[in-house]
Amino acid sequence: MKMHNPPHPGEVLRELCIEPMGLSVTEAAEALGVSRKTLSAILNGHAGISPEMAIRLSVAFGTSAESWLNQQAQYDLWEAEKKRSSLKVRKLSAA
């Protein structure tokens, strides 16, 4: 089921995982084994959750990698749907 205007997974990560634990971006990045710049880009919605990052998040926060990838897919689809009318596509049908 499609979610209406889903949040970017970085927002979820910040609000439900990092902030409640009182972690700084630097501390969280170190724990995840990524650069502060990489984590900051995700938290600010400028980068998405890759399969590898989903695994890192699942290990660090005890979540499932699939949940992070599903959030990213829902967000990406929502953003793409907003551009549907501008796509140059014609419907195909069997002859």
Residues 6+ apart with CB under 8 A from 42: 9, 10, 13, 48, 49, 53
pLDDT, tens digit, 9 for 90 and up, residues 74-91: 999 999 999 999 999 999
Distance CA 48, CA 73 (A): 9
List, for residues 10-30, the tens digit of each pLDDT value. Answer: 999 999 999 999 999 999 999
Residue 12 CA to residue 9 CA, distance in Å, equals 5
Assess if residue 68 is contained within a domain.
yes
Q: Structurally, how many domains does the chain consist of?
A: 1
pTM for the whole thing? 0.89
Residue 94 lies in a domain: no
Residue 87 covered by a domain: no
Per the structure, the complete domain to which residue 46 belongs is given by 9-78
* Domain contains 86: no
For 53-75, letters b (16+ CB in 10 Å) and e give: bbebbbebbeeebeebbbbbebb
Q: What is the CATH number of the domain that holds 34?
A: 1.10.260.40
